[in-house]
């Protein structure tokens, strides 16, 4: 009789477990139907190897010997903030004696019991511990702030709360930059690109903008939120990500831009090409808008 209680089957599974359960033969596991992610961990051919899928594969590979952390944990908490699609899953283990294959990043850090939770049956660092780790591990200060913003926004906690973990784990690598990261973080930020846009303006020397500024339309009895705003100059800045090209969202964006323009706002809308490929254009455009007469 076939067993169907193989963890992760049939989306992410250990090949040896599927063979023992009678679901596949050794030849079938290594055939064209499946793709190996890590040693003995497979997914159906054609599966998009998203960070979530690779995190699930990493957890199966570790077989309860580690805790998913960093960008993988953020993804599983629903607060995805990885810098790229090829971001490597992080796994934290206490002590040494464990080796991981290529495509995994190992951290030998101390984890307290209350810093570990379960997501879909996998051991994952809690949102606060994940933010604490990414504030230390992220490849740059700005990416660290973006990660803390995203987790704090989605999981509803104040960025300053991660400093409590610094008191508990004062000797861990990377703690020196925590105060600056927390000082720049803002839990109201709506996305990673939004945070990076805000930090771009900050680092250029422009005045710090307000985050998620509310403009009320008393007549229509509704309110809109501007990603970043200079209320005294009535300059609004929006980051237009992928959802803004969907038909319904385009119509909503047109209506809100018209309403804000009618109220005297000058709206600047930037895309990923602007923020990541020509940041000097963004800074110059915002600077001109702030200097222009109202």
In order of their start, the domains of the chain are: 1-47 (no CATH), 51-184 (no CATH), 192-291 (3.40.960.10)
Q: How far is CA 84 from CA 87, 187, 212, in A?
A: 5, 22, 25
Higher pLDDT, 145 or 110: 145
- The per-residue pLDDT for 99 is 81
- pLDDT tens profile 198-225: 999 999 999 999 999 999 877 667 788 9
Q: Mean pLDDT, to the nearest integer, of 31-49?
A: 96
The answer to whether the beta carbons of residues 117 and 135 sit under 8 Å apart is no
Strands 105-108, 90-93: pairing is parallel
The answer to whether the beta carbons of residues 161 and 194 sit under 8 Å apart is no
Give the separation between CA 77 and CA 116, rounded to whole angstroms: 12
Higher pLDDT, 89 or 85: 89
Closest of 193, 85, 118, 108 to residue 149, by C-alpha:
193
- The per-residue pLDDT for 1 is 46
Strands 210-217, 116-119: pairing is unpaired
- pLDDT tens profile 118-175: 999 999 999 999 999 999 999 999 999 999 999 999 999 999 999 999 999 988 888 9
CA 266 to chain centroid, in Å, comes to 30
Q: Mean pLDDT, to the nearest integer, of 223-234?
A: 94
């Amino acid at each position: 009789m076939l067993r169907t209680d193989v963890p992760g089957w049939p989306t992410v599974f250990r090949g040896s477990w599927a063979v023992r359960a009678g679901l596949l033969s050794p030849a079938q596991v290594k055939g064209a139907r499946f793709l190996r992610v890590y040693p003995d961990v497979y997914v159906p051919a054609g599966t998009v190897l998203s960070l979530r899928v690779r995190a699930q594969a990493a957890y199966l590979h570790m077989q309860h010997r580690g805790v998913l952390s960093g960008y993988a944990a953020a993804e599983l908490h629903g607060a995805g903030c990885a810098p790229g699609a090829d971001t490597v899953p992080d796994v934290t283990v206490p002590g040494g004696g464990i080796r991981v294959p290529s495509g995994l990043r190992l951290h030998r850090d101390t984890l307290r019991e209350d810093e570990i939770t379960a997501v879909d049956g996998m051991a994952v660092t809690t949102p606060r511990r994940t933010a604490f780790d990414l504030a230390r591990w992220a490849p740059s200060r700005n990416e660290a702030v973006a990660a803390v913003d995203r987790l704090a926004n989605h999981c509803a906690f104040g960025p300053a709360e991660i400093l409590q973990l610094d008191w508990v784990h004062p000797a861990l690598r990377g703690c020196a930059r925590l105060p600056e990261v927390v000082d720049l973080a803002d839990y109201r930020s709506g996305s990673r690109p939004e945070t990076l846009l805000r930090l771009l303006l900050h680092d250029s020397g422009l005045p710090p903008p307000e985050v998620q500024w509310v403009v009320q339309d008393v007549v229509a009895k509704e309110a809109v939120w501007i990603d970043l705003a200079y209320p005294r100059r009535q300059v609004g800045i929006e980051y237009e990500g992928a959802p803004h090209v969907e038909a319904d969202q385009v119509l909503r964006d047109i209506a809100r831009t018209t309403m804000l323009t009618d109220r005297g706002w000058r709206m600047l809308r930037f895309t990923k090409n602007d923020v990541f490929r020509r940041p000097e254009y963004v800074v110059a455009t915002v600077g001109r808008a702030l200097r222009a007469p109202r």
